[in-house]
């Protein structure tokens, strides 16, 4: 676990400046480590498969997909004991202005670990516009959660999202009861200071939060660490520390073995490095006007990759368009998080973009590479000398279209062997002229910051990273 935490302590910081500090050590697991014999299953509303997934165990209280377009067998995390764990219920509330990276990273990672995560809106409607403009569709209204018992209540930050959470009386009641009954609760970014502190839930607890709000915490209880665990309470600093925060919550729910396995799935045990074919020239992607970026998404696209890239690029004032390849704007991601796209792909087919970025996700990639419109856009992008990129398994799309010829690239370990040419396996991000690729989930912030540096230079990339509480490496 020490090696895992050493590698992710360098991981990144919302809309506020700050610098990172060393990660705090995780406390021992609250539960005996055992095998996770179930993984999160797609809710019935995400019908982008034709056959239901197979699981090693399927308790009746776990939601499963009823109408699913080919899926490989779902396998459990590898842990030492083959023992079924009780279902763990997690509540993650969102409101207008919630930090999207934090909400999506938590939901995604906890669902991968096997938790039943409820994404609840504190607003009158389920569609909620978050701090960077991303619109998520919550699973339920917070009012439907008032009589439920959760193993964990985790609050994302962001402004004014943390205020919206603070002013929700139902959420306050749920969280107060959680603390009184000694069950796990946590908060990240602005939420510890803006939400939990007014509720009186930080008493006698050492706490951290985003550097822009740490002055609000009691001086003798405030700590400047990326992660702080104080009995049932876990707090963290910002979007850039959310991977570490989420893995810690996995350990407290399921044990150390489970958190180690999640760390491997997220590729957190690899070196954070950026490889470039030629020397990195600052601002060598400079354009005359605000750079326009297209991110096409489909059912099954990787939630974290889409939301993280959109959030970070918009912080740098890039003009980002998220386009749905589906018939509707609402797209169901790889772990059931429903995102509302800005437009349909057919409506932007005649537009010119300075950069097209393909997100990963096995089933999303399958749908992306079948799109005739996207194929045409990519070919025109390359033939006109404009920029293009791929995250995780989506590099295979470029490979099949012949767009990696004589290029260095990387991708998720599961598809690297299928890529032709001089592939860099161990680098998190690879830049070769107008092509930029990265390995997967945990390297997505580095990918987005590299894009910013190419368009605007290291200064702006470093400024954005500071607000994320992310350590930016310009070399």
Domain enclosing residue 86, as ranges: 2-37+76-265
pLDDT (0 to 100) of residue 82: 39
Same-domain status, 184 and 284: no
The whole-angstrom distance between residue 396's C-alpha and the CA centroid of its chain comes to 21
Q: How many CA atoms lie within 13 A of 458 on its CB side?
A: 8
pLDDT (0 to 100) of residue 422: 75
pLDDT (0 to 100) of residue 8: 46
Is 294 domain-assigned? Answer: yes
Q: Which letter does DSSP use for residue 26 in this model?
A: P
What is this structure's pTM?
0.83
Q: Which phi and psi (to 5°) does residue 93 adopt?
A: -90, 150
Contacts of residue 361, Cβ cutoff 8 Å, sequence gap at least 6: 300, 301, 302, 303, 305, 333, 334, 392, 393
CB 438, CB 426: distance < 8 Å: no
CB 152, CB 95: distance < 8 Å: no
Task: Grade residue 379 by pLDDT with cuts at 50, 70 and 90.
Answer: very high
What percent of the chain is helix, strand and coil (3-state, nearest 5)?
30, 15, 50
CB 25, CB 228: distance < 8 Å: no
pLDDT per position as a tens digit, 58-110: 232 323 222 222 222 333 444 333 345 568 999 999 999 999 999 999 999 99
The whole-angstrom distance between residue 302's C-alpha and the CA centroid of its chain comes to 9
Question: Average of pLDDT values for 389-411?
Answer: 93
Give the Cβ contact number of residue 344 at 10 Å.
16
pLDDT per position as a tens digit, 278-297: 445 566 787 888 999 999 99
DSSP 224-260: --SEEEETTEEEE-SGGGHHHHHHHHHHHHH-HHHHH
How is residue 64 written in tokens?
A: 């499963």
Q: Which of 96-110, 127-141, 321-335, 397-411 has the lowest mean pLDDT?
A: 397-411
Same-domain status, 110 and 13: yes
Mean pLDDT of the chain: 83
3-state secondary structure of 473: coil
Same-domain status, 295 and 258: no
Task: Give yes or no for residue 5 having a pLDDT over 50.
Answer: no
Number of compact structural domains in the chain:
2
Q: Which of 91-105, 364-378, 410-424 has the lowest mean pLDDT?
A: 410-424
Same-domain status, 213 and 141: yes
Is 50 domain-assigned? Answer: no
Q: What is the CATH number of the domain that holds 222?
A: 3.40.50.880
Same-domain status, 126 and 32: yes
Residues annotated as part of the active site = 392
């Amino acid at each position: 676990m020490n090696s895992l935490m050493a590698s992710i302590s360098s991981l990144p910081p919302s809309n506020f400046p700050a610098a990172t500090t060393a990660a705090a050590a995780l406390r021992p697991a609250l539960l005996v480590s055992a095998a996770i014999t179930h993984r999160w299953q797609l809710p019935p509303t995400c019908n982008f498969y034709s056959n239901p997934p197979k699981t090693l165990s399927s308790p009746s209280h776990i939601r499963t997909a009823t109408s699913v377009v080919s899926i490989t067998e779902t396998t459990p995390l590898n842990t030492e004991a083959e023992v079924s764990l009780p279902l763990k219920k997690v509540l993650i509330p969102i409101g207008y202005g919630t930090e999207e990276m934090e909400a999506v990273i938590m939901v995604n990672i906890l669902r991968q670990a096997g938790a039943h995560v409820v994404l609840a809106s504190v607003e009158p409607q389920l569609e909620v516009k978050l701090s960077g403009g991303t619109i998520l569709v919550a699973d339920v209204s917070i009012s439907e959660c008032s009589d439920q018992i959760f193993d964990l209540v985790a609050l994302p930050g962001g402004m004014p999202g943390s205020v919206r959470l603070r002013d929700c009386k139902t959420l306050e009641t749920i969280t107060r009861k959680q603390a009184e009954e000694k069950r796990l609760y946590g908060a990240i970014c602005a939420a510890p200071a803006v939400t939990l502190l007014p509720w009186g839930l930080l008493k006698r607890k050492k706490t951290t939060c985003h550097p822009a709000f740490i002055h609000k915490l009691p001086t003798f209880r405030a700590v400047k660490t990326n992660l702080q665990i104080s009995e049932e309470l876990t707090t963290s600093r910002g979007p850039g520390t959310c991977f570490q925060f989420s893995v810690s919550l996995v350990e407290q729910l399921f044990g150390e073995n489970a958190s180690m396995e999640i760390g491997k799935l997220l590729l957190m045990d690899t070196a954070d490095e950026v490889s470039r074919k030629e020397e990195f020239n600052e601002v060598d992607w400079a354009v005359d006007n605000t750079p326009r970026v297209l991110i096409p998404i489909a059912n099954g696209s990787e939630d974290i990759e889409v939301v993280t890239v959109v959030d970070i690029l918009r912080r740098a004032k890039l003009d980002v368009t998220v386009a749905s390849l589906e018939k509707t704007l609402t797209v169901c991601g790889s772990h059931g998080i429903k995102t509302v796209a800005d437009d349909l792909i057919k409506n932007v087919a005649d537009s010119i973009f300075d950069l097209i970025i393909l997100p990963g996700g096995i089933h999303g990639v399958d749908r992306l590479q079948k799109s005739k419109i996207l194929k045409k856009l990519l070919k025109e992008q390359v033939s006109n000398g404009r920029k293009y990129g791929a995250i995780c398994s989506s590099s295979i799309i470029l490979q099949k279209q012949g767009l990696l010829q004589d290029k260095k690239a990387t991708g998720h370990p599961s598809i690297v062997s299928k890529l032709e040419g001089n592939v860099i396996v161990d680098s998190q991000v690879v830049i070769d002229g107008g092509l930029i690729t990265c390995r997967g989930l945990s390297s997505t912030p580095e990918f987005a910051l590299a894009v910013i540096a190419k368009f605007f230079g290291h200064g702006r990339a470093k400024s954005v990273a500071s607000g994320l509480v992310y350590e930016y490496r310009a070399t």
